[in-house]
Structure 1
Amino acid sequence: MARGVPAQRVPAQARDDRRHRPPQGDAGEAVAAARAAGVSWWEQFFDEEYLVLYAPVLDAERTEREVAACASLLRLAGGMRVLDLCCGTGRHAIPLQRRGMRVTGVDSSRKLLAKAAERADRVGAYPSWVLGDARSVPLKAGAFDAAICLFNSIGYGTDAEALAMLREARRCSRQLLLETVHRDEHVRNAGPGGVFEWAERDGVRVLVERWIEAVPGVSRATFRIQREGQSDVVRDFRHRLYTATELVAMLRKAGFERIECYGDYDRRAFAIDSPLFLAHAR
């Protein structure tokens, strides 16, 4: 049986009493009712259906490669404190905890944190889980040796909110590993009229329409999840696409001085056709 989010096990020296959670992002057309109720689109998107949409590409081999790169780039050693911003189901937090780090995962989705707790129970590695907003983290300044923010977790709201999240990472830790998609690669692979895709797995069919809003630089998608005998589930997605130039500028504005940019976890040099943007900021 799924359990709720466990009580916080964050060390007292890392806690803070700030609980400000400002609204983030604009609701998409598919969640207009949620917007009227004061709920941001991402608060509905990151639930159990999110796992249906992305589980196929987040396999164990990929996760291990990313976790190994994190440990190497950040020079992590046993006992070091690591903050995982937007940790989701603990895909990186749990393996890092198993490697001997003391990990705290922060996420605004109660449902994803419940899944994280279940995964932690299965492998016997227990990060601390905090239900909170990455733009206003309820943790003390300088409480961590390193912070990570991985798998496109920046860009779901305004530019000011993205900067606020980076500033929180800098406030909590002296170094950050940031991974996200970047605009150059997205635009290079996007058609002017949008892209339609579909996939079927374990009896679930997912239809996807993707397009880019050129002026605001936002990647949009509408997902339609279909199951036999059930009503379709529709999810709207919007993600601000930043160039590497913009991301580096935001990291500097957040207070980081030394920034090394890579095009993948293998530390290849960043280029406009790199599959992702990876920055080690200090």
Structure 2
Amino acid sequence: MEEKEWFSTWFDSPYYHILYAKRDEQEAADFIASLLQKLHLAPGSRVLDAACGKGRHAITLQQLGFSVDAFDLSPANIEAAQAFENKDLLFFVHDLREPLPLANRYDAIFNFFTSFGYFDDQQDNQKAFNTFAGGLKEDGLLVLDFFNPSFVLANLVPAETIERAGISFQIKRWSDAGYLYKSIDFSDQGKAFSFVEKVELVAKNDFISYAAQAGLRLVDLKGDYALSSFDEKESPRMIFTWAKKSN
């Protein structure tokens, strides 16, 4: 029996949602609103939220006037998100590495908040970019938001304890062989649990290379959720915007 990839089990765990329950939703909403002002997408544009989790940001996009499709690998996430579906908001289960059901469909595709870099095989990164490019209309936009590896490694917190819902999560972080690891150990109701997150430290130039091979040209690169200019050392994020090249 083939072993499941770590993200297919941890992201489906209720403890994942407990640990990350206090993410800054207002910052996320403000970022999306500011980003859309810069992109100048027409009202009613069809957009895709790729790796959407439980659909919070897809819902925001739809509320801002777009026709939204959104997918995630986790059936549990999509089941939760489907409670919010309407004629302009559709959720479905999909693997980022597989071609989308319909090609040349979207005016923009969004991959928010480090929803990339989970694969052991780097060829899967290229497959994901091919998926993005295949789904975009000509001149359509891809926005991908990922942590800046240089900043993250320079500011890594090796260990901490996070209290959530009466559970003490023991967190350790380290890097090895081009990946960032985060171990999460805790007990609940007398049972011990252990998970490890593993995210590739994808460099800026690697992203640009994947995109170019997929037929995407770089339009913009920002360094944080306030959309400041990117600085290799000081910026916490890499927020890329690419456009699909015209044939």
- Structure 1: distance between partners of 2:35 and 2:75: 25
Runs of 4+ residues deviating >4 angstroms: none
Structure 1 199/125 Cα, relative in aligned 2: closer, same or farther at 3 Å? farther
> Offset of 1:246 from its aligned partner?
1.9
Residue aligning to 2:132: 169
Residue aligning to 1:226: 187
Aligned ranges 1:58-73 → 2 under 5 Å: 59-73=24-38
Q: Which amino acid aligns with 2:182?
A: A
**Matched position secondary structure for 1:145:** strand
What is the number of equivalent residue pairs in this alignment? Answer: 237
Give aligned-pair identity as a percent: 25
Residue aligning to 2:89: 127
Contact 1:94 1:125 in 2 (8 A): no
Runs of 5+ unmatched residues, structure 1: 1-35
Contact 1:248 1:259 in 2 (8 A): no
Residue aligning to 1:197: 160
Residue aligning to 1:117: 82
- Structure 1: distance between partners of 2:207 and 2:185: 31
Residue aligning to 2:15: 49
Runs of 5+ unmatched residues, structure 2: none
- Structure 2: distance between partners of 1:257 and 1:39: 34
Question: What is the TM-score normalised by the length of structure 1?
Answer: 0.78
Of 253, 264, 279, 2:224 maps to: 264
Contact 1:190 1:212 in 2 (8 A): no
Q: Which amino acid aligns with 2:29?
A: E
Contact 1:146 1:175 in 2 (8 A): yes
Structure 1 204/45 Cα, relative in aligned 2: closer, same or farther at 3 Å? same
- Structure 2: distance between partners of 1:102 and 1:44: 30
Is the aligned partner of 1:209 residue 2:172? yes
Q: CA RMSD in A?
A: 1.9
Residue aligning to 1:84: 49
Contact 2:18 2:164 in 1 (8 A): no
Q: Which amino acid aligns with 2:159?
A: F
Aligned ranges 1:154-165 → 2 under 5 Å: 154-157=116-119, 158-165=121-128
**Matched position secondary structure for 2:160:** strand
Contact 2:35 2:227 in 1 (8 A): no
Contact 1:79 1:102 in 2 (8 A): yes
Of 210, 213, 216, 1:250 maps to: 210
Question: What is the TM-score normalised by the length of structure 2?
Answer: 0.89
